[in-house]
Each structure stands twice: as structure tokens, then as C-alpha cells.
Amino acid sequence: MSSCGLRPSTRPVLVLQPFRGFPSPLFDSVHRQIQRLYPLVVQRPAAALPRSAYYAPRHRYRADSLLHFLVGRHQPDTVVIGLTQQDISTTKNEVRDWGVMGLGYCPGRACVISSFRLKRRNLSTQFYKVVLHEIGHTQGLPHCTTRTCFMRDAEGGNPTDEETSFCRACTGHLQSRGWKLASQSLVLPKTP
């Protein structure tokens, strides 16, 4: 899912910002994989989820509020990637509280990804694909109609098992922004 707006002008530093309770092995896996594709990556210590983002009626966190929180805590030359295992949601059309796997400004300075809606069987691989999807939004990529592309719209489901890579057009867009997306460098994490 994306929230379109600004246009980045320089190559940003990616900041991996886990929220408390996020599993260390999953964080370490994502950090290693992202660093292979984009070397300007730093990690931050776990932060508390802001109370202001909590939506009590559904016992989950508002992704749009988390994006605002993340942008407010980091420098303008960064893209902040929030990582949580808590359920997150946003407003979609007439639905006030639509549960999502992730949300990112398109283009913009922040995205947030949750492992809550992913299958435990393929968690590491699915989570990495959602991270790539939301980072893609921050780099200006809209949803893609190619069914196997990481930028495919989830359309209320979880299509990550069908996604295999960025399509040619999305790859070209990201490569023009400094991403190393040669086919041999895009190795998905192994799922136990």
C-alpha cells in the first residue's frame, strides 16, 4: 500500500528502525539482505511503538501515524523503515481501519512493515518481499500489474508466494536510484 506525495532528490541513507518486540533473527536477515542491494544502510536500536498510533477498537496500530512518527525522529536525508510484529492498519477508500502488511510514502521518507499478517511457514521470505515492496514505494514506484513483481498490489490478500522479483520496469527505476538489482544479487532468504 502507498501514500503518494513528495519526490526525493538525493540518494538517501536507509534507516532500519525495529519496534520493541521485533524478532532479532528476522531483523538481522532483513538487514543483511537489504545491505546487499543498497549499501547505505544503518540500524537503530528498538523503539517503543508510540501510544498515539494505537487504535484501541481493533487492538492495532495506525500505519499512517507510525510513518509520521518515523519521519519526525530522523534526518531529512534518510528513508526510515519501521519493522514491527504488531498488526497495523490504514484508511482505504471508505474503510476506516483496513489491516495491511505495510505502508509507505510514495515517494517519500518512510515505510512501515508488519509481520503480523504473514504465514509463519515462509515468514522470512515473505517479510523480505514486503520490505522490498514498501521501500519501492519510497523510491517512487507505484503498484505494478505484473503478477510476479514485488510491487504487485496485495488487493486484500497475501500474494508474496507468487512474487519472484521486481519486473524489468521496476528494476530499471530502482537501478537508476543506485540499487544493485542484477538477478544474481537478489537472493531471497532461506526459510527453515
- pLDDT of 8 > 70? The answer is no
Instruction: Annotate 106-120 with b (16+ C-beta within 10 A) or e (fewer).
Output: bbbbbbbbbbebbee
Whole-number Å distance between alpha carbons of 58 and 32: 33
- pLDDT of 183 > 60? The answer is no
Query: Each residue of 59-87: pLDDT tens digit?
Result: 999 999 999 999 999 999 999 999 999 99
Query: Each residue of 97-142: pLDDT tens digit?
Result: 999 999 999 999 999 999 999 988 899 999 999 999 999 999 999 9
At residue 6, the pLDDT reads 42
Q: Which domains does the chain have, with CATH numbers?
A: 13-177 (3.40.390.10)
Q: Strand 54-55: give its sheet, edge to edge.
A: 54-55, 60-62, 88-92, 95-100
| Mean pLDDT over each residue of the chain, to the nearest integer | 90
Whole-number Å distance between alpha carbons of 67 and 110: 6
Whole-number Å distance between alpha carbons of 1 and 125: 19
Whole-number Å distance between alpha carbons of 77 and 73: 12
| pTM exceeding 0.85 | yes
pLDDT band at 95, cuts 50/70/90?
confident
